Amino acid sequence: MQTSKKCALWGIAAIALLAIAASGKAWAAQSSGDASRPATQGSNSSRPELNLEIEIPNVEDDALHAKVPGANDPWPEVNLNVVVLSKQGAPQTVDVSGFQLFEDKAERPLHFRGSADSPVSLGLLIDSSHSMEKRGPAISALVTTIVKALPAGSEAMAVLFDEEAYLDLPFTPASEIDYAFLDRVNAHGGTALNDAVVVAEKYFATHARYARRAMILLSDGGDNASKSDLGDILPSLQWPGAPTFYSFHIPDSQASGADARFGRIAMEILAKEGGGVAFTPKEKDFASAAARLADMIRSQYVLHFTAADPARDGKAHKLEVRLPIKDVQIHALPVYYAPAN
């Protein structure tokens, strides 16, 4: 997990991101006509829109960050998804008895849920805005590869977003998915990525069935239509039982160098704060990167513990996971927020 030095370095990266954003509002320059661009025929008429008015975080209301857990809220029981990788990024098999979990610097007793062949609840958050023009086939191939590699009995859901977010695939058994929903990656309109992350996490929290959980964002990382900023939404990834958040950067071939850097860094921050891994492959390496991502999801561990403080007060609790072995990367949430009444 993070040391204080790593946190300082990550803070520098966040400052760099804000500096890039300030230098001309890079992603706001994405074709001013996009927001009024007509939808592709049949794209929106029967699609269930996710309500973007639902609890968009506000930096002035810290408790709001903790309101993601939904109907299946098990508080104060917490499931923490963990990925263990080699220094080269390959999933590692470890002895689960070696895991140690520290909550606010105090070690907590652990239980373990989910073996290597246990089902996974997978969320897909897919950019279908104008910047994804001509990326539909690549996105379809990525999604198909990842979903078909899930363990038996797994389930998946998908939210597609442009300036609005649509639930195009409710949670469905992976073996029964009709991939026709990917035809709705129509590449039109602006991009409300931040808002889409919040509502996708909200739906996931309410409906996911399994302890092993992952969410994948496929996008170029640009945002020109959200009501919330990147810094505001990060705690929406950090609720008890949250999925490991992976980002898969799909560059916009039309973007400038500054725009591309902004999007890439934004997605790296989302993955870091969501306890996951950021993928930034070249297009020729998309297939191999998707296979690696699928391997990581299949290898996730679930550490189960009881929160030391059962209060529903929306407070943040720092997390650290340790293993008695060297030369591994441990990816898990750096912090979680207790539910708020």
Residues 271-303 pLDDT 10s: 999 999 999 999 999 999 999 999 999 999 999
Q: Write out the two tokens for 73.
A: 């809220």
CB atoms within 10 A of CB 34: 18
Task: Count the helix, strand and coil residues of the chain and give each as a percent rounded to the nearest 5.
Answer: 35, 25, 40
pLDDT above 80: residue 109:
yes
Residue 92 φ then ψ, to 5°: -115, 140
DSSP code for 165:
E
**Angle in degrees, CA 240, 244, 250, rounded to 5:** 140
Strand segments, DSSP code E, in 148-290 are: 155-161, 165-173, 213-219, 244-249, 278-279
Q: What is the pLDDT of residues 130-170, one digit of tens each?
A: 999 989 999 999 999 999 999 999 999 999 999 999 999 99
Q: What is the pLDDT of residues 65-89, one digit of tens each?
A: 334 444 467 999 999 999 999 999 9
Q: What is the mean pLDDT of residues 253-274?
A: 88
Q: What is the pLDDT of residue 186?
A: 83
- Domain borders along the chain are 1-27+54-341
Helix, strand or coil for residue 331?
A: strand
Instruction: Decide: 337 and 234 in contact? Cβ < 8 Å.
Output: no
When pLDDT is cut at 50, 70 and 90, the band that residue 1 belongs to is very low
DSSP code for 193:
H
When pLDDT is cut at 50, 70 and 90, the band that residue 118 belongs to is very high
Residue with tokens 């389930």: 155
H helix and E strand count, the chain: 6, 15
Q: What is the pLDDT of residue 156?
A: 98
Task: Report the C-alpha gap between 181 and 169 in whole angstroms.
Answer: 7
Q: What is the pLDDT of residue 48?
A: 67
Q: What is the pLDDT of residue 117?
A: 84
pLDDT above 60: residue 202:
yes
Average pLDDT over all residues of the chain? 84
1-27+54-341 placed in CATH 3.40.50.410: yes
- Closest-CA residue to 277 (of 304, 300, 253): 300
